[in-house]
Amino acid sequence: MAAAAALALASPLRRLLRAPHPRGAISAPYYGITRGRCSSAIAVAAAAARNSAMKGSVDRNAAEEVRNILDMAERASQLRDVFHTNFLTPPIIKEAMLAIEKLADIKAVAQGGYPQAERCRISVGHPDSMTSNPDVVAALSISGNFRLEPCSHGDFLGAILGTGITREKGERGAQVLVDPELVDYLISTLEKVGKVGVSCTQIPLLALEYEPPRTKSSKTVEASLRVDALASAGFKISRTKLASLISAGDVRVNWTPVLKNGVTLKSGDIVSVSGMGRLKIGEIVTTRKGKYAVELIRYL
């Protein structure tokens, strides 16, 4: 009864705690890469990451993160071992995977615990050492009787941080994703969320109750597929306003900052605007008058 009540209250709290560690668990989405050049190429790729930051395609912090991942890849290749990153944001995942793509003797796998996970850990290693996807994520369920004492995301986060795990190692939720080596520690240490006594148990990744993102679709007819035309329609702001956001570096396409209003979009592209959320470009149909009828999918 208590567990059922907890599940009903906890299940909407889908934002998951993620805590990284050198080794861990999963079999969800991944990208396998084994082509390119190596050791000296890693230095070239690292320099390219820094140059990308200088040119504005990635920010300096992301470039530094990518450089660190490339350094990790070099060590993994030399030692014939496998290393794992922390949970990374989509822009860093994209840049790191593109950089590693140019290297030989390196296999890279990005895993987040469930199919729609945006934040993932990257595992890098020599192909001979990484013959299967490494286990880098484990799932925990936190349950208790929250009927009289409802708890917020912050309550769950605070309880987990109270065990000594730093904020940099995770986010919050009633179901949490952590490094497998943290499982026993959290099970034995996490006793309360707010004033509610809780039990913490490991669950299979397939048992995660995650919600698909909520979206709202609309359509627009435009003379071009430029980012300023489609994004202004999708976010319902003027092209002038969008142009100023682009100039400020606040607009990204597929996680990469766009620097010009005239960038052309295609079906499947994701446009994100700082402070406004994300927009996916859906089906594009050319009208009889040569214009474009475009489906715009806004993430809520």
* Residues 295 and 283: beta-carbon distance below 8 Å: yes
Domain ranges of the chain: 2-21+137-207, 39-125, 215-299
Closest CA to 109 of 91, 135, 128: 135
| pTM over cut 0.75 | no
| Strand pairing report for 120-125 and 107-111 | antiparallel
DSSP-based three-state secondary structure for 223: coil
What's domain 215-299's superfamily in CATH? Answer: RNA-binding S4 domain (3.10.290.10)
Give me the tens of pLDDT residue by residue for the chain, a chain 300 residues long. 333 222 222 333 333 444 444 333 333 333 344 334 455 555 555 555 545 544 445 567 778 899 999 999 999 988 999 999 988 988 899 889 989 988 888 999 999 998 888 889 999 998 888 888 899 998 988 888 777 777 776 777 677 767 766 444 433 336 888 888 889 988 999 888 888 888 899 999 988 887 778 899 999 999 999 999 999 999 999 999 999 999 999 999 998 889 899 999 999 999 999 999 999 999 999 999 999 999 999 998
DSSP-based three-state secondary structure for 12: coil
Helix (H) or strand (E) holding 253, with range, is strand 251-253
* Residues 254 and 270: beta-carbon distance below 8 Å: yes
CB count in 10 Å sphere of residue 8: 11
Residue type, 61: N
Q: What is 2-21+137-207's CATH topology?
A: Alpha-Beta Plaits (3.30.70)
CATH of domain 39-125: 3.30.1370
